[in-house]
A and B are shown apart, each in its own frame.
Chain A
């Protein structure tokens, strides 16, 4: 059973471009979470999704950020018109039950030039 897969591992974008981060949860997991981490800091919650539904997006900026978890395929975190402040590590996690034992991917390090 493969773990949570995130890609790309590293993503470089220029200001104004779009960033698409992908996350394939563990097999059988229907709960997906996205977190953001700045250097030397903890994880900041962004969004929690279940298949085809956004359950809680309270940690995600209202503008430029969106997330989806379609019936088929990976969960996508999309950042439009990136700015330097978006540079961070973005982690995806999945779980078989809400808020219990999250399994994390290796993260996507986004660098905005």
Chain B
């Protein structure tokens, strides 16, 4: 299985609700990043959280990191239809050498 695995695979919510996506990984990391991808487009960087950080905020986004559980969560508050996209976590880990390893992603659908 992959270094980063997102959960759930798919999430459907109503506009205005909060969306929480989780990412689990296997090895010690230098940093963990979250990206968004709209259909047919390239990925857009959202947040980077370092291994010595526990929480970061950016607008309506909140990312937490629990290195003891090797997991991270991405919370999108007050979701909008425009938040509909796939969300990926990516880890930078010594064990995986020089590459940023992406998970399979969570497909988020926000219904208006």
Contacts of B97 in A (CB 8 A): 56, 58
How many inter-chain contacts with C-beta < 8 Å in the A-B complex? 62
- How many Å lie between the Cα of A2 and that of B42 in the bound state? 15
Contacts of B90 in A (CB 8 A): 102
Give the contacting residue for B99; candidates A56, A105, A107; CB below 8 A.
A56
- Chain B: minimal CB distance from A111 (Å): 14
Contacts of A104 in B (CB 8 A): 35, 42-44
Contacts of B31 in A (CB 8 A): 99-100
* Closest chain B residue to A46, Cβ basis: B99
Contacts of A99 in B (CB 8 A): 30-31, 92, 98-100
Give the contacting residue for A42; candidates B44, B48, B104; CB below 8 A.
B104
Kindly state whether residue A12 has any CB partner on chain B within 8 Å. no
Contacts of A58 in B (CB 8 A): 97, 99
Contact status A43-B88, CB under 8 Å:
yes
Contacts of A44 in B (CB 8 A): 102
> What's the interface size class on A, roughly?
20 to 34
Kindly state whether residue A41 has any CB partner on chain B within 8 Å. yes
Which residues of chain B (4-45) have a CB below 8 Å from chain A? 30-31, 33, 35, 41-45
Contact status B45-A102, CB under 8 Å:
yes
Give the contacting residue for A102; candidates B41, B98, B100; CB below 8 A.
B100
Contact status A48-B98, CB under 8 Å:
yes
Which residues of chain A (54-92) have a CB below 8 Å from chain B? 55-56, 58-59, 91
Contact status B99-A48, CB under 8 Å:
yes
Contact status B99-A42, CB under 8 Å:
no
- How many Å lie between the Cα of A44 and that of B101 in the bound state? 8
* Closest chain A residue to B4, Cβ basis: A42
Using a CB–CB cutoff of 8 Å, the interface residues on chain B facing chain A are 2, 30-31, 33, 35, 41-45, 48, 88, 90, 92, 97-105
A-B contact pairs, 12 of them (CB 8 A): A33-B100, A42-B2, A42-B105, A45-B102, A56-B97, A56-B99, A99-B100, A101-B48, A102-B43, A104-B44, A105-B42, A106-B42
